[in-house]
Chain A
Amino acid sequence: MMSSPLRCMRFLAFLVFVPTLTGCMNTMAPTTPKILAPSITSYPASAYSGDVTAYRTAMNAKDYARARVLRDQIVYRTLADIESTYGRFEVRLTTSRATESVLADTAELGITAATAVVGASDVKDILAASLSGFQGTQLSIDKNFFREKTTESLISQMRADRKNLEAQIVLRLGTEDVIPTTDPTTKANIAAYPLDAAWIDVTQYYYAGTVPSALVSIATATGNNATAAADKLSKAVQSLTPTTAAQALQSVSLRTVYQKLSEAANSTDTAVSGPAITSLRALLTACGTRPDASATAAQLLDQLKQAIIATTTDDAKLKALSDAITNLKLN
């Protein structure tokens, strides 16, 4: 009896969403030109092995000009292969995340609608639990796989990282030979960029186009920005507090009282230390600190010291503590 509306809704969902999703996917990217088909842009392993063997042979024969041509050819073909694969990956990432969201939204809407239609309370409970499960799963995927970053921010970061590495590779291919050389004009040494060194950069280039790498880059950039902001704030805040002549006198007076109380409270003569400890307690209480009944002289002095340090940048605290000293006739 209950299955009838559900079956009907499932059928309607199939009729509406499958063509919609298919249509959406087709609007994500134009049809790939035939010359950019994976079968053409890919760099087969057999071709790679042959090129590497030719490169090694040229190096052994000290034919560095040919070795450089082969190095460039191997690196550029690999870059092209990675680029082609990456382009498809970007489209797939965008489409699959959007599809997941649409499906999740659809499921939520469907379950919500079904909950309103069904009459039995236990079926309602099951549907409500299913809805929570869907929402939780969607949130978990976003949180654990993508760290709640949007697809656009991930792609933007991957593109930036890849462009930086690509620029580095292209620059080195253009300026550095397969063996160390010397600039004829400046006589400066030019470092070598053999195939094996280029291969390290190419590997990094590939991984720069992955989601985990983008997440790390985003986190690092955020961390660096936070550190820079904290430094800036610290420099802005950390300037000496403007002080009037009267406040400077209050500071000297405050510190003098502390020095006197410190000396007296540490005295072995209880006739001296007793009143000092009593004054310390009274002073701390007057400035809003509640000293513990069992606090030692050292602990009370430390509390007072912290209270005085707090006045360094706070005019109101300086006034409150100075007033307390005057009221208790400690100066």
Chain B
Amino acid sequence: MVGEIPVPGSNSMADTANAITRNEQDGFTELTTLVADPKSTNNLANFIASTVQYGAVSIVHTGTSSPGTAIITNTTIYVSGAKTAVDVYHLPL
């Protein structure tokens, strides 16, 4: 699915990463932004259509090293209900 899609703020980092991975891989999309929804305790993920296949998505605390390519850095999202600064990576295929 493309467009702005809510992601539950109660998700763990891994849950959110898995859900984004599935949407990117199966939905032929690419994540462009991931932010906390200012109107709720959920997050908002934005996707655009893409024919390029990337690796699985990994979300880590900001500053934590991770393999792969950083696609979003130092963004604040809800993780397990609490606002957390995170970096988002595409793991190698």
Contact = CB atoms under 8 A, between A and B. Distances in A.
Contacts of B3: 238
A256 interface: yes
Contact of A251 (B7, B8, B22): B22
A249 B18 CA distance: 9
A318 B4 CA distance: 23
Interface residues of B, number: 26
Given A309-B26, A312-B27, A238 B15 contact: no
Nearest to B11: A242
A238 B53 contact: no
Contacts of B23: 240-241, 312
Given A240-B19, A245-B14, A248-B21, A311 B26 contact: yes
Interface residues of A, number: 25
B28 A305 contact: yes
A45 interface: no
Contact of A238 (B6, B21, B56): B6
A300 interface: no
Given A252-B56, A256-B53, A305-B28, A242 B1 contact: no
A308 interface: yes
Interface in A236-256: 238-245, 247-249, 251-252, 254-256
A241 B8 contact: no
B19 A259 contact: no
B55 interface: yes
B6 A312 contact: no
Interface in A304-328: 305, 308-309, 311-313, 318
A252 B15 CA distance: 15
B93 to A, nearest CB: 7
Interface string B19-63: 111110111100000000000001001000000010110000000
Interface of B: 1, 3, 5-8, 14-23, 25-28, 42, 45, 53, 55-56, 93
Given A238-B6, A239-B7, A240-B5, 20 more contacts: A238-B5, A239-B42, A240-B6, A240-B45, A241-B19, A242-B19, A251-B25, A251-B26, A252-B55, A252-B56, A252-B93, A255-B25, A256-B93, A259-B53, A305-B28, A308-B26, A309-B28, A311-B26, A312-B22, A312-B26
Of all A-B residue pairs in the complex, the 3 with the closest CB atoms, nearest first, are: A251-B25, A240-B19, A248-B18
Interface of A: 235, 238-245, 247-249, 251-252, 254-256, 259, 305, 308-309, 311-313, 318
